[in-house]
Chain A
Amino acid sequence: ETGVTQSPTHLIKTRGQQVTLRCSSQSGHNTVSWYQQALGQGPQFIFQYYREEENGRGNFPPRFSGLQFPNYSSELNVNALELDDSALYLCASSLGASGANVLTFGAGSRLTVL
């Protein structure tokens, strides 16, 4: 049974560029949640995808968007990057969208915006 895989692990972008981060969910999981973790802070919920549909969104602007594919892997896209977007982006998969499901986290994608 594979865990959650995120790619890339590290990347550097400049302001105004666009980025796509990828997440392969754990086998058997149908839900992926994305979180942003700034340095020294706790993770902040971006959005969740359940069975290919967005299932809730945190306080992030529309330039943060996502997708979930039929195999339940997911992408996070961020347009018009800003310096404050520099953070660790974590995805977590679970079986079911309830907050009472065990989460499996990926190692994260560390984004630096210059």
Chain B
Amino acid sequence: KNEVEQSPQNLTAQEGEFITINCSYSVGISALHWLQQHPGGGIVSLFMLSSGKKKHGRLIATINIQEKHSSLHITASHPRDSAVYICAAPGTLYGGATNKLIFGTGTLLAVQP
């Protein structure tokens, strides 16, 4: 079982729809990262959060520490939002240190016009 799991793996939406991507983790974490990766590889950091909620434009990220769950929401989705969205958390997978990121497998989002 992966220590960081995402759902859904694939998501197709119509332009304008509200989108939710979920992330569950089994490690104790100091912060959770949401990242965006476009075809071709480049990764952009969207959010890093350790409690509550953060908002940037049409993107909202929430985290529930007790439930070990985080969500990324996209309001009024647009075709340019199409990308892979990845959550990542520092974990003890590599023994001892908790400063190494463990990545979820990603959610491939396609927003159709």
Contact = CB atoms under 8 A, between A and B. Distances in A.
B105 interface: yes
B44 A105 contact: yes
B59 to A, nearest CB: 15
Given A59-B94, A99-B31, A105 B100 contact: no
Interface residues of B, number: 28
A88 B84 CA distance: 15
Nearest to B97: A56
Given A42-B106, A45-B94, A33 B101 contact: yes
Interface string A5-34: 000000000000000000000000000010
A106 B98 CA distance: 23
Given A59-B94, A99-B29, A99-B30, A108 B99 contact: no
Nearest to A57: B94
Contacts, number: 75
A97 B41 CA distance: 23
Interface residues of A, number: 30
B101 A90 contact: no
B89 A100 contact: no
A112 to B, nearest CB: 13
B86 to A, nearest CB: 6
Nearest to B2: A42
Interface in B59-113: 86, 88-90, 94, 97-106
Give the residue among B100, B102, B103 with the most A Cβ atoms within 10 A.
Answer: B100
Contacts of A102: 45, 48
Contacts of B89: 99
A101 B45 CA distance: 11
Interface of B: 29-31, 33, 35, 40-45, 48, 50, 86, 88-90, 94, 97-106
